């Protein structure tokens, strides 16, 4: 699966990719601006979206993900319940807290059957 992973914490992002996402083609973006640039150049099957980013909130990217056709396969992955709640309220499909990231493969399979 081709994943866009929008996460500014490089240490967590590297660990998550190595431990839980190694079977996928993961493109990372550490800011909203980087994510928008990547979205203009490539297509993705799903997105993992953090809430707190250096240049804004993850909710600001949801219109771009909608335009890319993957908003309904966007997974909120904040470490804070309030961030995940805000992403869900703005249109993310589901939330997986960073503390429960071991569930990400199961959630990806549910959000993108057949991919």
DSSP secondary structure letters along 48-94: EE-SEETTEEGGGGHHHHHHTT-GGGEEE--SSHHHHHHHHHHT-SE
Looking at residue 23, the DSSP 8-state letter turns out to be T
- Kindly list the domain boundaries of the chain, sorted by start residue: 2-111
List pLDDT tens digits, range 18-28.
999 999 999 99
**Token output for 66:** 């909608």
- Stated pTM of the model: 0.94
User: Per-residue pLDDT for the chain (115 aa), expressed as one digit of tens each?
Assistant: 999 999 999 999 999 999 999 999 999 999 999 999 999 999 999 999 999 999 999 999 999 999 999 999 999 999 999 999 999 999 999 999 999 999 999 999 887 665 5
CA distance 104 to 107: 5
CA 115 – CA 94 distance, rounded (Å): 17
CATH of 2-111, one of 3.40.800.20, 3.40.50.720, 3.40.50.2300, 3.40.50.1820: 3.40.50.2300
């Amino acid at each position: 699966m081709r994943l866009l992973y929008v996460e500014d914490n490089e240490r967590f992002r590297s660990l998550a990719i190595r431990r839980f996402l190694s079977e996928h083609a993961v493109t990372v973006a550490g800011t909203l601006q980087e994510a928008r640039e990547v979205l203009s150049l490539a297509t993705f099957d799903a997105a993992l979206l953090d809430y707190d980013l250096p240049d804004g909130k993850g909710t600001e990217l949801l219109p771009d993900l909608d335009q890319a056709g993957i908003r309904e396969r966007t997974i909120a992955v904040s470490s804070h319940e309030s961030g995940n709640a805000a992403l869900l309220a703005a249109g993310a499909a589901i939330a997986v807290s960073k503390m429960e990231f071991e569930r990400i493969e199961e959630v990806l399979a549910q959000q993108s059957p057949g991919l």
